[in-house]
Amino acid sequence: MKIEMSPSTMLNPVPVVMVSCAGKDPLKEETRPNILTVAWAGTINSEPPMVSISVRKSRHSHGLICETQEFVINLVTEDLAKACDYCGVRSGSKEDKFSATDLTPVSAPNMKYAPQILESPVSICCQVKDVIELGSHDMFLGEVKSVSVDEKWIDDKGKICLEKAKLVAYSHGEYYGLGKLLGFFGYSVASKKALARRMPAKKHSKRNTK
Ligand SMILES: Cc1cc2nc3c(=O)[nH]c(=O)nc-3n(C[C@H](O)[C@H](O)[C@H](O)COP(=O)(O)O)c2cc1C
């Protein structure tokens, strides 16, 4: 039996990302490059590629993103989890989170102000297209202008091997590494040949509905 609860943000797990941004003058303390941790991020369109991040008005980063209309979503690996958490509990209004976490801001393709984080395996550079005021959070709709992938995760055939990067998920207030591979897009109807090629270690029954 399921117990009915009051409405809440119970969608789990979600990605947790580090959003980098900066004001127009990166040399000024109040507009220097900054990192904000965001769990409420999502892919919302494919042509053009678009993403959203929901950010409270009170966040220092909110003002920076409004000023430049740019932000970069940086994916988080297990190695970066602690830095990611730190960027979600300290404000850039009071300290330089890049130096506090030993992360490196580097210029991002197609971005005038927002840096990418060098240590992140994938950085998604976004231009704000719209801001929707939802209540507690403002949702920034961003068009993806470029994606930078650390060459370490690209094999010699040009395939991006993100499964090796040890990405992190966030569920009900806790960070998790990703578990074992369960399947791939369409595996429930894939041929035996495709299953054997993509998941050689797994035993395959005829039709995988269970
Ligand atoms: C795991 C985690 C997820 C978070 N997700 C969000 C989010 O989706 N939106 C938001 O506005 N703040 C979120 N926060 C809080 C901000 O990251 C936090 O308030 C941060 O200190 C703001 O930094 P800033 O003031 O430098 O912008 C999250 C924090 C953590 C630890």
Mean local confidence (pLDDT), 182-191: 96
Tokens 């054997």 belong to 196
pLDDT surpassing 90 at residue 13? yes
Q: Ligand 1 mean position to 187 CA, how many Å?
A: 36
Mean local confidence (pLDDT), 82-103: 98
Q: Ligand 1 mean position to 2 CA, how many Å?
A: 31
The minimum-distance atom of ligand 1 relative to the CA of 53 is: 8
Identify the band that residue 207 occupies on the pLDDT scale cut at 50, 70 and 90.
low
Instruction: Concatenate the DSSP letters of all residues of 59-112 into one string.
Output: SHHHHHHHHHSEEEEEE-BGGGHHHHHHHTTS-TTTS-HHHHHT--EEE-TT-S
Q: Ligand 1 mean position to 152 CA, how many Å?
A: 29
pLDDT tens by residue, 140-171? 999 999 999 999 999 999 999 999 999 999 99
Structure-token pair, residue 76: 């988080």
Identify the band that residue 204 occupies on the pLDDT scale cut at 50, 70 and 90.
low
pLDDT surpassing 70 at residue 12? yes
Q: Ligand 1 mean position to 113 CA, how many Å?
A: 20
pLDDT surpassing 70 at residue 41? yes
pLDDT tens by residue, 102-124? 999 999 999 999 999 999 999 99
Structure-token pair, residue 208: 């995988």
**Non-local CB neighbours of 19 within 8 Å, separated by 6+ positions:** 35, 36, 37, 38, 41, 53, 55, 61, 71, 72, 73, 74
Mean local confidence (pLDDT), 72-96: 98
Q: Ligand 1 mean position to 190 CA, how many Å?
A: 40
Identify the band that residue 85 occupies on the pLDDT scale cut at 50, 70 and 90.
very high
What residues flank ligand 1, with Cβ below 6 Å?
A: 16, 34, 36-40, 54-56, 59-61, 85, 88-93, 137, 170
Q: Give me the pLDDT at residue 210, please.
A: 53
Identify the band that residue 202 occupies on the pLDDT scale cut at 50, 70 and 90.
confident
Q: Give me the pLDDT at residue 209, please.
A: 55
- Whole-prediction pTM: 0.96
Q: Give me the pLDDT at residue 206, please.
A: 59
Assess contact for 115 and 132: CB atoms under 8 A: no
Question: Which residue's CA is the nearest one to ligand 1's atom 18?
Answer: 88
Testing ligand 1's pocket by substitution, the residue of 29, 38, 51 carrying the most ligand atoms inside 8 A of its CB is 38
Question: Which residue's CA is the nearest one to ligand 1's atom 4?
Answer: 38
Mean local confidence (pLDDT), 10-36: 96
Mean local confidence (pLDDT), 191-208: 81
Q: Ligand 1 mean position to 54 CA, how many Å?
A: 10
Domains in the chain: boundaries: 14-177, 183-210
Testing ligand 1's pocket by substitution, the residue of 34, 57, 59, 140 carrying the most ligand atoms inside 8 A of its CB is 59
Question: Which residue's CA is the nearest one to ligand 1's atom 29?
Answer: 88
Domain with residues 14-177, CATH architecture: Roll (2.30)
Beta bridge partners of 105: 117
Question: Which residue's CA is the nearest one to ligand 1's atom 11?
Answer: 55
Assess contact for 130 and 141: CB atoms under 8 A: yes
